[in-house]
A and B are shown apart, each in its own frame.
Chain A
Amino acid sequence: MATAAEVAAPRLQYVGSPPRGPITRLLEDERWLATCLMLPTVILLGMFIAHPFINGILLSVTDTKVGVPGHFVGLDNFVKIWHDDIFQVAVWNTCLYTFVTTVFKLALGLWLALLLNRHFRGKAFMRAFILLPFIIPTVLSTFAWKWMFDPTFSVLNWMLFHVGIIKTRINWLGDPTLAMASVIIVNVWRGVPFYAISLLAGLQTISPELHEAAAIDGAHAWARFRHITWPLLLPVTLVIVLFSVIQTFADFQLVYVLTGGGPANATQLFATYAYQLGIGTGLLSQGAAISLAIFPILLLVVIVQLVYIRKAETA
């Protein structure tokens, strides 16, 4: 038996290996290793997200313009944009745009997911092709739509005319109401695949035995959907909707290419207006204020959804 003195000796001796350098020993420590691993990410995100976010706030409370340093003006900018007609229209437009597109994307995406949730030949191909609208750069596919919407050369007009639905041309992008509709159509077109594939994945985690048991119990398709599929799909749905809402709310590319915000601000959104004001006319502070105005609404939406997600997961 070792004596107390022997055992209490503090000097370390390596049992069977060469001694190691200081860096190796440092990285063996869980905390130091974690710090080193997190460092690149934290630096990058700090420099290019946290830093500009704070700058954005600072910008919005000054009256900076391009080339002209600004002075502190408190909440002046926010007051200004609050009373700005165009801003109010942009807020309304963005909310309408987000709401309508989300509803349609969810409905159509869900339908498509339900259709695809079975075995058929060419299923893998189908999945691959269906995702294309989501993969291809938005700007590029939006140009295709713009071409399809062109008042003089629109193929859609041609099709609708020949099917007998219209007699004269539809001014897709020139008429204010139609312009919003067109923009919504393109956004839904782009988003349905994402919804469909994600919901399909969610559907595939629902064991078919549940449906079979319900069918034996006498439930028909709609009842099965309502009582089994939908509740089990809810958590996944909420997560998808959360991401989609955030992206749509801050959407820029689509509207910029299709209408530039017009006609007469009919499709002006937060992002396009911020761009127009900040970069277009150089009123940096006001542009920053508009951009920041997205944030509280976004935060509210995120919090509400996170609460729902938490509830759905623990229910």
Chain B
Amino acid sequence: MARVLMRSLNKKYDEVPAVIDVNLEIHDREFVVLVGPSGCGKTTTLRMVAGLESITSGNISIDEKIINDLPPMDRDIAMVFQNYALYPHMSVYDNMAFGLKMRKFDTPEITRRVQEAAEILGIQELLKRKPRQLSGGQRQRVALGRAIVRHPQVFLFDEPLSNLDAKLRVQMRVELKKLHERLGTTAIYVTHDQVEAMTLGDRVVVMRDGRVQQVGDPMELYTNPANRFVAGFLGSPAMNFAGVRIVAQNGGLWAEREGIRIAVPKPIVPRLGAYAGKEVTFGVRPEDMRIAGAGDPQDLSFDAAVEVVERLGSEILLDVAVGSATMVAAVEPTVTAKVHEKLRLAVNPERLHFFDNATEAAI
């Protein structure tokens, strides 16, 4: 049972807070991704779990045992670093065997485990080489192998794919996922890349400025972001935001701004009621907008002027001006739109988001 628990975790560097009041429960066999912009505290949190940073206050426990004061070597964890951290003076075999030697495993057992890991990762022919003779992808595999042989309770990953080129990154992402399916070890993965977060995590933890913004499975975070930051962070191209005023009219609510007048969908009305007459932020994702057709209701669409047309092949991104706001709409590749053309865009009423201007929380 390798459940990782973080309770009221805080970290300060000389009075400057880096991690603030983090409470997380990571279930056994779960792959959890900590994601956020640089400086958000995700790496610091990971390093506290590893024992490389001291804990200012709060507790971390692995497998129901508090590990706050344990040195890294006694925590039964393994870590994969961004620049692999392979021991340059040792062969691949010795790199992988190092941890086992430190823990006084006997030689036959070491050989067995290293061979096993090498097979899983496909690096058997590389065992005698030195790190400087390996490519980036191979080094990453060795770093993984070094972590696997120890059969630890928890894997820690510190942006392991950042140093790889784009193509290799995609490949390794898939392999990591397969590896996790196969080994099933609890894993904490830190990245700034939201694509990695969405694709790899069983659950995703979005962090910002030292605090946890939201925890949940990727789709949950995507469709129901808890605040404006999470909404804007996940998804590419990012969600469109516009400041609107809520107006009560004809027994219903409207979201209005220059060029836009949208009827607030019935399910959301109760929540927005308190905001009548006030300003809120309206959010809609590019893929939840489309060119208005004959059957689309008038009160769920608005006029837009095309400024840029970006053809990606699988879809077309239209950068449009709506009044004084600019938005991006992702539409079918069959759409023919030209610059300066005026269109009418319709939005999906089930995919509208509103955020409180003061707290940034989702309404």
Contact = CB atoms under 8 A, between A and B. Distances in A.
The answer to whether A and B touch directly, with their CB atoms under 8 angstroms apart, is: yes
Interface of A: 1-2, 6-10, 12-17, 20, 28
Of residues B25, B61, B66, B153, which shows the largest number of chain A Cβ atoms within 10 Å of its Cβ? B66
A272 B35 CA distance: 69
B186 to A, nearest CB: 13
A7 B59 contact: yes
A21 B65 CA distance: 20
B76 A28 contact: no
Interface string B13-30: 000000000000100000
Contacts of B59: 7-8
A15 B70 contact: yes
Contacts of B71: 28
B25 A1 contact: yes
A14 B70 CA distance: 8
A102 B118 CA distance: 61
Interface in B29-72: 59, 61-67, 69-71
A15 B103 contact: no
Contacts of B73: 17
B5 interface: yes
Given A2-B5, A7-B7, A12 B66 contact: yes
A10 B71 CA distance: 16
13 contacts: A2-B61, A2-B64, A7-B7, A9-B66, A15-B65, A15-B67, A15-B75, A16-B74, A16-B75, A16-B153, A17-B76, A17-B103, A20-B74
Interface of B: 5, 7, 25, 59, 61-67, 69-71, 73-76, 103, 152-153
Contacts of B103: 17
B334 to A, nearest CB: 51
B100 to A, nearest CB: 13
Nearest to A16: B76
Contacts of A28: 71
A14 B69 CA distance: 10
B180 to A, nearest CB: 21
Nearest to A15: B76
A13 B63 CA distance: 11
B5 A15 contact: no
B8 to A, nearest CB: 9
A14 B65 CA distance: 8
Contacts of A12: 65-66, 69-70
Nearest to A12: B69
A12 B103 CA distance: 20
Contacts of A20: 74
A12 B67 CA distance: 7
Given A12-B66, A15-B63, A7 B5 contact: yes
Contacts, number: 43
B153 A15 contact: yes
B43 to A, nearest CB: 20
Contact of B66 (A1, A7, A16, A17): A7
A13 B153 CA distance: 15
A157 B62 CA distance: 85
Query: Which 9 A-B residue pairings sit nearest by Cβ, starting from the closest?
Result: A16-B76, A15-B76, A17-B74, A13-B65, A28-B71, A14-B74, A7-B7, A15-B75, A7-B59
Contacts of B66: 7, 9-10, 12-13
Nearest to B71: A28
A15 B78 CA distance: 13
A47 B67 CA distance: 43
A1 B3 CA distance: 10
Nearest to A13: B65
Contacts of B62: 15
A13 B74 CA distance: 10
A17 B63 CA distance: 14
Given A16-B75, A16-B76, 10 more contacts: A7-B59, A7-B61, A12-B66, A15-B75, A15-B76, A16-B74, A16-B152, A16-B153, A17-B103, A20-B74
A1 B73 CA distance: 27
B331 to A, nearest CB: 45
Nearest to B150: A16
Contacts of A7: 5, 7, 59, 61, 66
B7 to A, nearest CB: 5
Contacts of B67: 15
Contacts of B70: 12, 14-15
Contacts of A17: 73-74, 76, 103
Nearest to B7: A7
B10 to A, nearest CB: 15
A10 to B, nearest CB: 8
B84 to A, nearest CB: 24
A6 B103 CA distance: 29
A20 B73 CA distance: 11
B99 to A, nearest CB: 12
A20 B72 CA distance: 13
A222 B76 CA distance: 64
Contacts of A9: 66
A9 B59 CA distance: 10
Nearest to A24: B71
Given A7-B61, A9-B66, A15 B7 contact: no
